[in-house]
Structure 1
Amino acid sequence: MAHHDQHPLDHPEVQASSTPKYVFAFILAMGVMIASCLITVVGDMSQLATLTWIGVLALIAVIGQLYFLFKLDTSKAMIWHTVSAAATIPLFFIAIVLTIWMFHHLEMRVMLGAG
């Protein structure tokens, strides 16, 4: 039986973790959440501007969490995680768009008097 001498703390994934990055990710997420709640509650912008700002803040939150919490970057240790996430995101949006399209056409065909 082969002896395995690698120490768990020597792996690059473990060495990439740091408390300041986790704290910054938490503060960023809380700040973005508070800002989006304030934009929604105050309501002095148009509907398009509100949706645009909430979308931008959501994108900032997602990118911040992918980088600071999940450590997705182009380093040698994390490149395959980054590539798999980059391949998953378009597939997720394709699935959502196709589901919306399917239900839209299903409603048009089934609910004859509604549309």
Structure 2
Amino acid sequence: MTDPLLHSEVRASSAVAFAIGYVISVALMVAALVVTMRHALGRIDLVVVTSLLALLTLITQAVFMFRLNLSQSDRWKVVSLVLALPLFVLMLGLTGWMFHTLYLRTMLPGTMGH
């Protein structure tokens, strides 16, 4: 039986990198919260800035916490991420569409206020 501590994924882990990734991720999420709570931007700009901050948070977590890189040994991680991203984007888009049309789909005909 092999020692699990000898695996390359375990040996590449670092508490310092994890802590740096955690601090940067929290800072980016707090920035998104502040921009959203202060209504500092217009509607479209707010969506764009919040989306960019979320993307930066995901990249930060992938690099610092999950140690995602393009090395030969970690190629399967990149492939799984590439295959999961379209599903994630589809889920976000369909959720946005669902909530955007929720009022029209739940009100009885003739009782809509507009």
TM-score band w.r.t. shorter chain: 0.7 to 0.9
Residue 3 of structure 2 corresponds to 7
Q: Give 2:82's match in structure 1, choosing from 86, 89, 93.
A: 86
Contact 1:28-1:64 within 8 A present in 2 as well: yes
| Partner SS, residue 34 of structure 1 | helix
Pair 95,34 (structure 1): closer, same or farther in 2 beyond 3 Å: closer
**Which runs of 5 or more residues in structure 2 are unaligned?**
none
Kindly report the root-mean-square deviation, in angstroms, between the aligned alpha carbons of the 2 structures.
2.8
Partner Cα distance (1:66, 1:9) in 2: 21
Q: How many residues align?
A: 109
Partner Cα distance (1:98, 1:51) in 2: 16
The answer to whether structure 1 residue 69 and structure 2 residue 65 are counterparts is: yes
Pairing of 1:1-115 with structure 2 (within 5 A): 4=1, 6-97=2-93, 100=97, 107=105
- Larger helix fraction of residues: 2
Q: Stretches of 4+ moved more than 2 A in 1?
A: 91-101, 111-115
Pair 96,74 (structure 1): closer, same or farther in 2 beyond 3 Å: same
**Which runs of 5 or more residues in structure 1 are unaligned?**
none
Partner Cα distance (2:28, 2:22) in 1: 10
Partner Cα distance (2:38, 2:93) in 1: 30
Contact 1:13-1:77 within 8 A present in 2 as well: no
1:67 positional shift: 1.6
Partner Cα distance (1:49, 1:39) in 2: 10
Larger Rg: 1
TM-score normalized by the length of structure 2: 0.75
